[in-house]
């Protein structure tokens, strides 16, 4: 029999992300899916205009999403921000943009901030920002082109134009930090919070 992790009803996930859904469901968390519709670009731009730290940008976007769809029970909002020094990257909307991002990341260490905010009803109940440090090999232009020949357009959904859980793993020399945060969800911390709230496998 399948094990579930939701004695108090499903957790509402305010995201359309297939990998976040898969991670939570694989961990036994019963979900309802209700993607939040917010203007992420406008919110991000406003925060950056105030010199917000990338960690705070991720946290704020996650809270906006959770708040947008919060209702009865627990609602989870998530966001991930890629920062190279002070520059924040967005998902590439063209192969040219993907190539530019990979060229800038080549030989560098960048940071992934994966934020999660949980609302209980209409009030925030918990928040966490996971961190991963990603060090990329120095890549030549032919290597980047060959990679995109194989990976584009699938990696268009990945900020930084890579998917480290698949062929993008070959781009990296070192990854430090929480692997689930690399995938966009601080899963262990979320499950620990649910456990504190009395959720158990049943």
Q: Which of 79, 120, 145, 178 is catalytic?
A: 79
The radius of gyration of the chain's CA atoms, rounded to the nearest angstrom, is 17
Catalytic site includes residue 100: no
4 contact partners, CB below 8 Å, separation of at least 6: 28, 29, 30, 201, 202
Residues in a beta bridge with 31: 11
Q: CB burial class (10 A; 0-12, 13-18, 19+) of residue 171?
A: buried
**Separation between Cα atoms, residue 129 and residue 126, nearest integer Å:** 11
* Residue 167 DSSP symbol: G
Contact yes or no for 58/130 (Cβ under 8 A) = no
**Separation between Cα atoms, residue 20 and residue 173, nearest integer Å:** 25
> 74-84 and 109-120 as β-strands: parallel, antiparallel, unpaired?
antiparallel
Residues involved in catalysis: 79
């Amino acid at each position: 029999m399948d094990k579930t992790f939701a004695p108090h009803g499903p957790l509402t996930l305010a995201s359309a992300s297939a990998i976040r859904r898969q991670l939570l469901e694989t961990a036994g968390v019963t979900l309802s899916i209700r993607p939040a519709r917010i203007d992420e670009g406008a919110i991000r731009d406003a925060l950056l205009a105030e010199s917000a730290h990338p960690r705070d940008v991720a946290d704020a976007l996650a809270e906006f999403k959770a708040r947008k769809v919060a209702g009865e029970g627990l609602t989870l909002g998530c966001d991930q921000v890629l920062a190279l020094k002070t520059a924040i990257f967005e998902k590439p909307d063209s192969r040219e943009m993907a190539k530019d991002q990979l060229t800038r990341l080549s030989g560098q260490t960048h940071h992934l901030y994966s934020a999660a905010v949980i609302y209980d009803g209409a009030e925030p109940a918990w928040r966490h920002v996971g961190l991963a440090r990603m060090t990329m090999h120095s890549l030549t232009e032919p290597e980047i082109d060959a990679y995109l020949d194989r990976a584009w357009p699938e990696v268009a959904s990945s900020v930084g134009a890579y998917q480290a859980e698949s062929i993008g793993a070959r781009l990296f020399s070192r990854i430090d930090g929480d692997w689930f945060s690399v995938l966009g969800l601080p899963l262990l911390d979320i499950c620990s919070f649910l456990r504190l709230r009395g959720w158990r496998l049943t």
